[in-house]
Chain A
Amino acid sequence: MSDVAGAATTKRARRNGAGRYGRLGQVVNELDDRLGVAKGGRTFLDKIFPDHWSFMLGEIALYSFLVLLVTGIFLTLYYVPSSAVVTYHGPYLPLDGQRVTQAFASTVNLSFSVRAGLLMRQMHHWACDIFVGALVVHMARVFFTGAFRKPRELNWTIGVTLLTLAIANGFLGYSLPDDLVSGTGIRIAYSILLSVPLVGTYLAFWVFGGNFPGTAVIPRFFILHVLIIPLVILGLVGVHLALLVRQKHTQFPGPGREENNVVGSPMFPVFMAKTTGYLFGVSGVIALLGAFAQINPIWQFGPYDASRISYAVQPDFYMAFLDGALRIFPSWSFMGFGHTIPLEVTIPAVIFPGLLFGLAYAWPALERRVTGDHAIHHLLDRPSWRPKRTAAGVAALALLSALFIASSTDVIANFFHVSLNTVLWAMRFIVILSPFVAYPITYKICRELQGVHGAGKRKTPNLVLRTDEGEYVAEPTPAYPEDVYHELEPTPVPTFIEGAEVEAEAATPGVRVVER
Chain B
Amino acid sequence: MSDESRTPVALAGLRADDPHLEPSARNPHVVEAVIAGLMVVGTLFTAGFGAAFWVNAKPWVLGATLGGGLLFLGLGLIAWGKYLMPRGPFVEERHPLANDEAEREGLASVLVDRGASIVKRRPLLGGLLGGGMGIFGIVALFPLLRSLGPLPKGTLFHTDWRKGSYLVDQTGRRIHQGDLAVGSIVTVFPEGTENTDRGQAVDQTVLIRLSNENYVTEKGRATWGPKGYVAYSKLCTHLGCPVGLYEQQLQMLVCPCHQSMFNVTDGAMPTFGPAPRPLPQLPLYIDAEGYLRAQADYDQPVGPGFWERGRS
A-side interface residues toward B, CB under 8 Å? 46-48, 51, 115-116, 118-119, 122-123, 151, 184, 187-188, 190-192, 194-202, 204-216, 246-248, 255-257, 259-266, 269-274, 276-292, 305-313, 323, 326-333, 335-336, 338-342, 344-345, 376, 378, 409-410, 420-421, 424, 512, 515
Contacts and interface: CB of A to CB of B under 8 A. Distances in A.
Contacts of A202: 151-152
B274 A279 contact: no
A263 B8 contact: yes
Interface string B1-20: 10100111001100000000
Given A265-B89, A289-B67, A307-B170, 10 more contacts: A48-B92, A191-B238, A202-B151, A211-B152, A211-B198, A280-B70, A290-B59, A307-B187, A331-B276, A341-B305
B305 A188 contact: no
Contacts of B260: 331
A287 B66 contact: yes
Contacts of A344: 238, 274-276
Contacts, number: 312
Nearest to B85: A270
Among B62, B64, B71, B92, max chain A CB count under 10 A is at B92
Nearest to B311: A335
Contacts of A48: 11, 90-92
A201 B152 CA distance: 6
B192 interface: no
Given A261-B93, A284-B70, A329 B197 contact: no
B63 A292 contact: yes
Contacts of B200: 305-307
B238 A205 contact: no
B63 A290 contact: yes
Nearest to B86: A270
Contacts of B61: 291
Given A211-B202, A281-B70, A262 B91 contact: yes
Contacts of A261: 8, 91-94
Interface string B232-252: 001000111110110000000
A277 B60 contact: no
Interface string B65-98: 0111111111111111110011011111111110
A309 B89 contact: no
Given A188-B241, A327-B274, A263 B91 contact: yes
Contact of B245 (A246, A306, A311, A332): A311
Interface string B118-133: 0000000000000000
**Interface size class of chain B, counting residues whose CB lies under 8 Å from the partner chain:** 35 or more
Interface stretch (B101-109, B142-150, B218-226): B142-150
Contacts of A332: 276
Given A184-B241, A290-B63, A420 B80 contact: no
A306 B273 CA distance: 21
Interface of B: 1, 3, 6-8, 11-12, 53, 56, 59-64, 66-82, 85-86, 88-97, 145, 148-152, 155-156, 170, 187, 189, 197-198, 200-202, 204, 234, 238-242, 244-245, 256-260, 270, 272-277, 303-312
7 contacts: A122-B63, A211-B198, A266-B11, A277-B73, A278-B74, A329-B274, A331-B276
Contact of B59 (A119, A197, A312): A119
Contacts of B197: 213-215, 306
A290 B60 CA distance: 8
A412 to B, nearest CB: 11
Contact of A291 (B59, B78, B187, B273): B59
B249 to A, nearest CB: 14
A206 B304 contact: no
Contact of A192 (B152, B170, B239): B239
B63 A191 contact: no
Contacts of B96: 376
A271 B240 contact: no
A281 B305 contact: no
